[in-house]
Amino acid sequence: MPLVKLNTPGGLTAPVADWPLLAEDAYVPPTGPVLVPLATWLAGRDTLKDRPDTGVWLAAGDDATALGDDLPAVVAIRFAAFTDGRGYSQARLLRERLGFTGELRAVGDVLVDQARFLTRSGFDAFQVAEGSDLVHFEAALGRFSVVYQAAADRATPVVALRHPSYWSAAE
C-alpha cells in the first residue's frame, strides 16, 4: 500500500511505495528497503543499523523503549485494528522518551479520522489505502486549530496560549 508523508506545515506528499514488513523469524534480505520486526532488529542491530534502507516495525504489544539509544532511521508502528490504540503510546514513547527524530510511520488499519491523533502522537508518515482521497486526509490534519494537551507534536496547548508568560518561563 502507498505511503504519504507529512510536510511542514501540514501538507502531504504524493503517495510513494511503502517498505515491506518482514515477518517474525523470516530471512532478512541483504538489502532493503525492508522493515524488520523488533526482535530481529535487537538480535542483529550491529549490522542492521548501518543499512540506510532498513528500519524496524513494532507490533502493538512491543515495548517501544526496547529500541534504546541505537535508533534506526525509520520506525513503523503497525495498527492491526484502528481501535487498538497502543500505537499512540508507543509513538509518544519513541519521540518523547527515546528522542527518536527519524520517520515514524503508521501502517496497517489507518483511517483518515485518526490522522490528527496520529500526528499529535508523533507520526509523520501514514500508510493509506490504494486510491484513497488525500484531500480528506489533509482536511483531517488541518481540522483542529486548538489543542488542550501537550503531546509529541509540540503543538502549543491552550494553557500556554492563555498564560504566555508562564510558558516562556518554563521553556
Partner 1 sequence: MYQYDTFDHQLLADRVAEFSDQVDRRLTGALTEDQFRPLRLMNGLYLEMHAYMLRVAIPYGVLSSRQLRGLAAVARTWDKGYGHFTTRQNIQFNWPRLTDVPAILQALADVEMHAIQTSGACIRNVTIDPFAGVAGDEIADPRPWAEIIRQWSTLHPEFTFLPRKFKIAISGAIEDRAAVRFHDIGLRVIRNDAGDLGFRVWVGGGLGRTPRVARELRPFLPAAQILGYLEAALRVYNLHGRRDNKYKARIKILVDEIGIDAYRDQVEAEWHAAGGPALVVPEAEIARVADFFAVPDYVTLPDATVELARWRGADSGFDAWMGTNILTHRAPGYAAVTVSLKPVGGIPGDITADQMDAMADLADRYSLGELRATKEQNLVLPNVRQDQLHALWSALRSLGLETANKGRVTDIISCPGQDYCSLANARSIPMAQEISRRFADRRRLDTLGPITLNVSGCINACGHHHVGNIGLLGVDKRGAEAYQLVLGGDAGEADSSIAQITGRAMTAEEAVDAVEVTAAVYLDRRQDAETFIQTFRRIGVTPFKEAIDAAR
Write out the residues near partner 1 by the rule CB under 8 A: 60, 82-86, 88-90, 92, 96-97, 111, 113, 116-118, 120-121, 136, 139-140, 143-149, 151, 158-159, 161-163, 166-167, 170
Whole-angstrom Cα distance, residue 72 to residue 107? 17
Helix (H, G, I), strand (E, B) or coil at 44: helix
Q: Give whichever of 33 and 85 is closer to partner 1, judged by the CB atom.
A: 85
- What is the closest distance, in whole angstroms, from the C-beta atom of residue 2 to partner 1 in the complex? 18
Q: Give whichever of 17 and 146 is closer to partner 1, judged by the CB atom.
A: 146
Can you read off the three cell numbers belonging to residue 135? Answer: 484531500
Give the residue carrying C-alpha cell 523503549: 65
- What is the closest distance, in whole angstroms, from the C-beta atom of residue 112 to partner 1 in the complex? 9
- What is the closest distance, in whole angstroms, from the C-beta atom of residue 120 to partner 1 in the complex? 4
Whole-angstrom Cα distance, residue 43 to residue 41? 5
Spell out where 8-164 has E strands.
11-12, 16-17, 34-37, 54-58, 74-79, 103-108, 125-127
Contacts of 73 (CB under 8 A, 6+ apart): 52, 55, 102, 103
- What is the closest distance, in whole angstroms, from the C-beta atom of residue 7 to partner 1 in the complex? 20
Q: Give whichever of 105 and 120 is closer to partner 1, judged by the CB atom.
A: 120
Q: Give whichever of 78 and 120 is closer to partner 1, judged by the CB atom.
A: 120
